[in-house]
Amino acid sequence: MMRLSCLPFSSLALLAVFVTAAAAQEPVWRLGKPLLDEKTTLHGQPVRLVDPCTVRHEDRWHIFASANGGTVWTSTRDFAMRPIASEVTKLPVGSCFVPQVFFCRTQSRWHLIGMMPDKTGRYPKMAPCLCTNADITNPKSWSPPEVLDVPSPQDETKPVKQWIDFWVICDDVKAHLFVTSDGGRLWRSETTLANYPRGWSSPVIALRGDFIYAPHVYRHDVSGSESYLLTLTARAADGHHYQQSYTAAKLDAEWQPAAATADKPFAGLANVRLDDARWSGDLSHGEPVRSSNDERMILETDFTSFIFHGAYRATDAKDARGTPVVGVLQKVAP
């Protein structure tokens, strides 16, 4: 599945976009060299990396991404050296991809939530799935994917043709699953913590908008009060992908736009300073980098990094098309 708009552009056109954006908004983020670049290999062969996520365990960051119809992994002590690895490892999770990884405290196992092609006709093209692992440092010990028993989404006004990108977050009572579908719809399903990962309710529409995929949800308290942050990938009028954000007081409450337009995004051309001009400007499938690693998805109030995939051009590229690579945005110091 191609999940990135790698549209040709001229350097002058891109410069004009950034000059216009800079006049409207000061940079919030800066973007340097890729975390995993176009030279990264899998089994010695070049690989296209998309849908990254990262989780902290002990003294290392563990990075997962979609590649070659499945999921790959690598790890690093820090993000200072770029790239962090020259080779990634394929996980034994079959066709499960678009990973979200967290430590499930009630089961004392690492959980990888993903999706895989549905061959039963039950779901709109993709089925939600779960893989588990007792030792995140051992990439070969992940279990085969198990399809989650989430009911298929129903919308009488507009049938769902495809849903993608499943995400789980837990509060003190329930586990909540979020997923996006065609037509700019965000769905939510729930189950009790006692029943997780089974017993999911029928999905309900939690938000409608102009986003396209990648619903990532975090506990992000404000002034000591419970609050949640939602980020989504959207497509601007010029075709570039950018990141929107919404907030809510509860996971089942109404989501309110925070930075949800191309001219005032959570992260996008309007507020990112490119320190490496080989980036195309696309910011797809991103998530804040957090130090917590369990199912509550707790995000620090003052988080400073955001991992994503984007198009990166080769030095001698003539058509200015980019290869999907993994990058990290860093907040600009005030």
DSSP readout, 87-100? EEEE-S-TT-EEEE
What own/partner pairs with CB < 8 Å and gap ≥ 24 does 312-319 have? 312/34, 312/37, 312/38, 312/278, 312/279, 312/280, 313/278, 313/279, 313/280, 314/38, 314/278, 315/278, 319/8
- DSSP 8-class letter at 262: S
Q: Are 204 and 186 in contact (CB under 8 A)?
A: no
Residue 254 covered by a domain:
yes
Give Cα separations from 105 to 134, 237, 302 (angstroms): 11, 43, 25
Q: What is the pTM of this model?
A: 0.91
Q: Are 294 and 49 in contact (CB under 8 A)?
A: no
Q: Residue 308, class by beta-carbon neighbours within 10 Å (0-12 exposed, 13-18 middle, 19+ buried)?
A: buried
Q: Domain range spanning residue 245?
A: 11-331
Return the ∠ at Cα 133 (arms to 132 and 139), rounded to 5°. 120
Residue 266 covered by a domain:
yes
For the record, the structure tokens of 114 come out as 């993903």
Residues in the chain: 334
Return the ∠ at Cα 36 (arms to 230 and 289), rounded to 5°. 30
SS3 85: coil
- Domain tally for the chain? 1
Residue 255 covered by a domain:
yes
Q: What is the pLDDT along the chain (334 residues), one digit of tens a residue?
A: 445 444 343 333 343 333 333 334 577 999 999 999 999 999 999 999 999 999 999 999 999 999 999 999 999 999 998 999 999 999 999 999 999 999 999 999 999 999 999 999 999 999 999 999 999 999 999 999 999 999 999 998 999 999 999 999 999 999 999 999 999 999 999 999 999 999 999 999 999 999 999 999 999 999 999 999 999 999 999 999 999 999 999 999 999 999 999 999 999 999 999 999 999 999 999 999 999 999 999 999 999 999 999 999 976 554 567 899 999 999 997 7
Nearest to 259 by CA among 311, 209, 327, 332: 209
Residue 1 covered by a domain:
no
Q: What is the domain-level CATH number for residue 215? A: 2.115.10.20
Residue 3 covered by a domain:
no
Residue 270 covered by a domain:
yes
Residue 288 covered by a domain:
yes
Identify the residue whose tokens are 């699953």. 177
Residue 5 covered by a domain:
no
